[in-house]
Amino acid sequence: MTLIDGKLVSSVIKDRVQAEVAVLKDKTGKVPGLAVVLVGEDPASAVYVKNKNKTCEKVGFQSLSHNLPADTDEATLLKLVGDLNSDDSVHGILVQLPLPKQIDSQRVLEAIDPRKDVDGFHPVNVGHLASGVKTLAPCTPAGIIEMLDHYKIDIEGKRAVIIGRSNIVGKPMAMLLLQRNATITICHSRTKDLPAVAREADIVVGAIGKPRFVTADFVKDGAVVIDVGINRVDGKLVGDVDFDNVAEKCSFITPVPGGVGPMTIAMLMQNTLTAFKSIHNL
DSSP 3-state assignment of 238?
strand
What is the C-alpha to C-alpha distance for residues 277 and 123, in angstroms, rounded to an integer? 21
Alpha helices in the chain (DSSP H): 6-28, 43-59, 74-86, 105-111, 123-131, 139-150, 170-179, 194-198, 243-246, 261-279
Residue 257 has a CB neighbour count (10 Å cut-off) of 15
Annotated ligand binding at 209? The verdict is: no
Which of these, 104, 139, 130, 96, lies nearest to 268 by C-alpha position?
139
Residue 26 annotated to the active site: no
Residue 220 annotated to the active site: no
14, 96, 116, 158: the catalytic one is 96
Strands lying side by side in the sheet with 92-95: 62-68, 33-39, 92-95
Residue 52 annotated to the active site: yes
Residues 6+ away with beta carbon under 8 Å from 278: 115
14, 113, 117, 119: the catalytic one is 119
Beta-bridge partners for 94: 36
Annotated ligand binding at 230? The verdict is: yes
Annotated ligand binding at 232? The verdict is: no
Annotated ligand binding at 166? The verdict is: yes
| Binding-site residues from annotation for NADP(+) | 164-166, 230
| Binding-site residues from annotation | 164-166, 230
Active site residues: 52, 96, 119
